[in-house]
Amino acid sequence: MPRLLLLDAKWEGEVKLTKKLKDYLKKTKPNSIDLFASVQFSDIDDFLKELKKLKIKVNTTKAKRTNKPLQILGCDCYPDSFKDNLNSEMILYLGDGMFHPKALILAVDKPITIFDPISDQIKVVDRKDIQRELNKKKANLKKYLIANKIGILVTIKPGQQYFLAAKKLKESLEKENKKAYIFIDDTLNPMNYENYPFIDCWVNTACPRIGTDDIININQPMINLRDALDPGRAFVELEK
């Protein structure tokens, strides 16, 4: 096996509490903030000092799959993905793009304020912005419950490989008199699913964002492993 070197690729700039963000916080007046950032924007000592001056309490909880507080990964996208509950008056994400903030929207039904340090832009997003995915997720859960032939997708990528869980799920589905087949691949490519039209519903055991972001682009229903193990919880979480 080759050795591995992971490099953060930090942003070359400095994350600052800009005038625009300061004015926004003065206007919206949050007393407390749950703060998150992608690893590229996680050197924020000066930013935190400036927030303190505004007398805002900053909470930096640890997401389950990360190794340090503040950072968030795209797969931290469930209500129980965080060490602490996100109870602050504002959830603020520092970074560019929508991939990480979307994990927060999926996890909690609260507005997420995004501050992009590169463009100095502020944007507020919430579940309305991903309503299509959420509607499809709910519909897919219903289809899973009535599916007779279920395809369980397993990737061989070690960081996302859940072969044992897939085998356990197959066993439990067979106890319910359903047919379950395990499909193995490297990268899970939606183009391949349609070659198996006998599958009523797919269960994705790899990255949970496949079962949220990709579902609007495929015809066959698909849900994530976590939701397949407890569909009741999945329905409840969609309302959280």
Partner 1 sequence: MKIIMYKLELEKLISTIKNQKAKQVLIQLPDGMKHKADQVADAIEEKTSAKAFIWLGSCYGACDLPLGMDILNIDLVIQWGHNKFNKEIW
Q: How far is the CB of 73 from partner 1 (least distance, A)?
A: 6
Cβ-proximal residues to 234 (8 Å cutoff; 6+ apart), any chain: 137, 141, 223, 226, 227
Smallest gap from Cβ 4 to partner 1, in A, equals 5
Q: Which is nearer to partner 1, 57 or 84 (CB)?
A: 84
Q: How far is the CB of 117 from partner 1 (least distance, A)?
A: 9
State the minimum distance, in angstroms, from the CB of residue 13 to partner 1: 4
* H or E segment and range at residue 227: helix 225-229
Q: Considering beta carbons, is residue 163 or 235 the nearer one to partner 1? A: 163
CB of 133 to partner 1, least distance (A): 18
Q: CA 76, CA 72: separation in Å to the nearest integer?
A: 7
The residue among 64, 58, 16, 67 whose CA lies nearest residue 39 is: 67
Alpha helices in 17-88 (DSSP H): 19-28, 45-53
**Which residues have C-beta within 8 Å of that of residue 86, sequence separation ≥ 6?**
34, 61, 104, 107, 108, 110
Q: Pairing relation of β-strands 121-125 and 222-224? A: unpaired
Going by C-beta distance under 8 Å and a sequence separation of 6 or more, which residues neighbour residue 107? 76, 77, 78, 79, 81, 82, 86
Residue 33 vs 107, nearer CB to partner 1? 107
**What one-character DSSP code corresponds to residue 206?**
S
List interacting residues with partner 1 (CB under 8 A).
1-13, 39-40, 64-67, 71, 73-75, 118, 156-160, 162, 164-165, 186-187, 205, 207, 225-226, 229
Q: Closest separation between CB of residue 95 and partner 1, Å?
A: 12
